[in-house]
Structure 1
């Protein structure tokens, strides 16, 4: 063998020896690091009282850390992420508790795939538990939004989308072919003063969630641009029990505008709770919805605004709608000119025979007809509460006395006056003084 060949062979043998030595040292280093971790854990168990807590008690403490948080964010300064930063034992315990990872809030989904990977890891830690996901802010990265929704898959039980001014929903979130088989609660909120949906978008969202029980569409404005109503396939949803098309607490705010147009395409035979703050369907369409659904409706809240008169919505229409839902127990109606006709209707106890709670809010200056109020309360032996929200209609003393007598003798909760002020209670105080 030549000297050159021998030199090359020697170098190769030396490299192999170094490689083996490095591998041995790496294993040794790993063993040392593991021994160091065990030693630190033992030290902590002596000097740190928290480290001596049983795993079961520590798990309960961790659970309490997130119990008061409606939504958890991917933030190292907040629970549950902050629990991973303390020590290895805390990290191990936190990762072993699925309930810490069942709620996730994402505000403005970042463009990076790394963030989606972090969300995916979060979902994996829930280990198949029902998951609540909230997406808000700028959601214009449709690929990442859809990817995150698909990652949640069967675990997704609650979905909240809070949208801002960015154009129509289907241009921001690709929901084509999406399915949410386990979804129970859907909340879609718009902070936009321009349309963000078509009626078809809302109907298709409901179609994609066949097990949905509760749905809230808040502040929606529907666009009809490039939209043919004939393309909407009617939907019968057999599980939906709660449908809120608006927010009652913001009934006067411009942002609370909603649309009942989706009711034209829906049949909801299980519906028990309905709120509508923008009646933009005709009399016949409204009656048709209640008739074909024939729901066991328990609670109904309608806010009838001035311009709905153009849709033939008036006291007569309201009366016809109420007569086809005899199961109703709680009724709240707000709107100009509805009070007297509604009171006359309800004096007949054969209409809405199960009614227990009534709130009437005329929402316009008018003198209350207390004779009708007394007639209603006298005829409804099963009524438990009655609220007549008026701003400037102080009752006469004889009316107050009669109302107070009814309240005391029948145990009815009666409120007459503005929100927060009950003329009956004020009269009690005045007489007592």
Structure 2
């Protein structure tokens, strides 16, 4: 055999040995993976728990809706990358995938992630948050595609820098929630949140009213800066029999005007209302008088406009809701506070069930604050209500000392600055 043939034979033998060793190496890697999984199962406390318990633990890792957006470093996607056992648990827990927040500025999330994500949720009720441009055809598509499973829906409209912002252009001035879709009932919807962050556009009011009627089991409705267009008060006001919480404005901010909604619907089950007193077309007094059974437990009033009811009308308004337990005021004028606190002190029939009085004091009113503090002290001392005050400047030391004495005798009092510094 020539030297060339010998070398070729040797190379073939070496190649065969390499193939054999690679097969052995793959087998060893596979056996190592199996052994590692068995070890993980043996030492991982989650893997040894019943699926119901481990699933519940995983659910506690979720951020609250609607803050949760798909991210690889957060649950539930993070849970898929720990080990096969955790991945199996996550994929076997539909509730982990029942809430999702989507930004339309990242279209891959819509085209790739969303269908897979919601498929993992199975038939579980869904919580969906959509952030982007109402003019995008994706918004009505998603809403109506999953309408029978929707339990919570948040829609946040943001400006699109690609178009003109000319307010005279009717096409840009009106947002269309339904698009080309045919609106159908939303049988499971309990929470609905609208937020419009583009001041040059507004929602057509008839669509809002229609959507409320399409959600017969709606419990919570939040309406923020939607700038409703073409609102007309109907001759016969429809009734929404399940709505309990109605909020105008964003969280941790002064309430906003109702923009005409309160003049168009009746809410016999309403227990909590947050609205600015400056209500075009319908005063808070008129709204409460028209309700079939006004049984409010919580009321948040914004008093940011001087064109608001006088203190006498507000007093008459509060007399209509003796059921009120929690009353919060944003930036009330000093004489409002004095009048309310005087009535609380002098009349046990005025807000007889009031438990908590919360006040956000404004720094802009130039008035005799001594009378305000004195009336608050007398009201708390007489009615033993819980008092929560947020203030821009630290109160006088003698006022703090008087409140501290009341607190020492058992009164629930909290006075803090807008930056979170606690004085009492």
Tell me whether the two structures share a fold, i.e. TM-score over 0.5: yes
Q: Which residue of 2 aligns with 1:384?
A: 385
Cα distance in 2 for partners of 1:88, 1:402 equals 62
Q: Which residue of 2 aligns with 1:366?
A: 367
1:346–1:352 CA contact under 8 A, matched in 2:
yes
1:108–1:139 CA contact under 8 A, matched in 2:
no
1:120–1:151 CA contact under 8 A, matched in 2:
no
Note if 1:183 corresponds to 2:173.
Answer: no
Whichever structure has more helix as a proportion of its residues is 1
Q: Which residue of 2 aligns with 1:7?
A: none
Q: Which residue of 1 aligns with 2:146?
A: 152
2:222–2:247 CA contact under 8 A, matched in 1:
yes
Q: Which residue of 2 aligns with 1:340?
A: 338
Q: Deviations over 1:33-63 (max 9, x none)?
A: xxxx999876522134336668664966676
Q: Deviations over 1:70-111 (max 9, x none)?
A: 365556676544666788877655433212211122110777
1:217–1:246 CA contact under 8 A, matched in 2:
yes
Q: Which residue of 1 aligns with 2:129?
A: 134
Q: Deviations over 1:104-158 (max 9, x none)?
A: 221107778x94575334323212112111111234322x322322332322111
330-339 or 42-51, larger mean C-alpha shift = 42-51
Equivalent of 2:316 in 297, 308, 320: 320
Cα distance in 2 for partners of 1:365, 1:404 equals 26
Q: Deviations over 1:149-169 (max 9, x none)?
A: 233232211111111125433
Does the C-alpha gap of structure 1 residues 88 and 306 become closer, same or farther in structure 2, counting only changes over 3 Å?
closer
Does the C-alpha gap of structure 1 residues 315 and 194 become closer, same or farther in structure 2, counting only changes over 3 Å?
farther
Q: Which residue of 2 aligns with 1:199?
A: 205
Q: Which residue of 2 aligns with 1:304?
A: 303
Note if 1:45 corresponds to 2:34.
Answer: yes
Q: Which residue of 2 aligns with 1:164?
A: 158
Query: CA RMSD, aligned part only?
Result: 3.7
Cα distance in 1 for partners of 2:237, 2:74 equals 45
Q: Which residue of 2 aligns with 1:21?
A: none
SS of residue matched to 2:246 = strand
Q: Which residue of 1 aligns with 2:280?
A: 281
Cα distance in 2 for partners of 1:174, 1:147 equals 9
Equivalent of 2:227 in 218, 222, 228: 222
Does the C-alpha gap of structure 1 residues 40 and 152 become closer, same or farther in structure 2, counting only changes over 3 Å?
farther
Q: Deviations over 1:357-398 (max 9, x none)?
A: 112345223222144234323432xx331245555684574x
2:191–2:218 CA contact under 8 A, matched in 1:
yes
Q: Which residue of 1 aligns with 2:406?
A: 406
Does the C-alpha gap of structure 1 residues 232 and 375 become closer, same or farther in structure 2, counting only changes over 3 Å?
same
Equivalent pairs, count: 371
Equivalent of 1:100 in 96, 116, 124: 96
1:300–1:332 CA contact under 8 A, matched in 2:
yes
Q: Which runs of 5+ in 1 are unaligned?
A: 1-36, 426-433
1:157–1:185 CA contact under 8 A, matched in 2:
yes
Q: Deviations over 1:179-203 (max 9, x none)?
A: 2110111121222223422333332
Q: Deviations over 1:229-287 (max 9, x none)?
A: 14686331111111111135233xxxx754352111121111111111363235x6422
Alignment of 1:250-261 (within 5 A): 250-251=253-254, 257-261=256-260
Shift of residue 174, structure 1, vs aligned partner: 5.2
SS of residue matched to 2:406 = helix
Q: Which residue of 1 aligns with 2:165?
A: none
Q: Which residue of 1 aligns with 2:120?
A: 125
Note if 1:350 corresponds to 2:344.
Answer: no
Cα distance in 1 for partners of 2:360, 2:36 equals 65
Cα distance in 2 for partners of 1:189, 1:233 equals 28
2:228–2:259 CA contact under 8 A, matched in 1:
no
371-380 or 293-302, larger mean C-alpha shift = 371-380
Cα distance in 2 for partners of 1:175, 1:331 equals 41
Cα distance in 2 for partners of 1:280, 1:189 equals 19
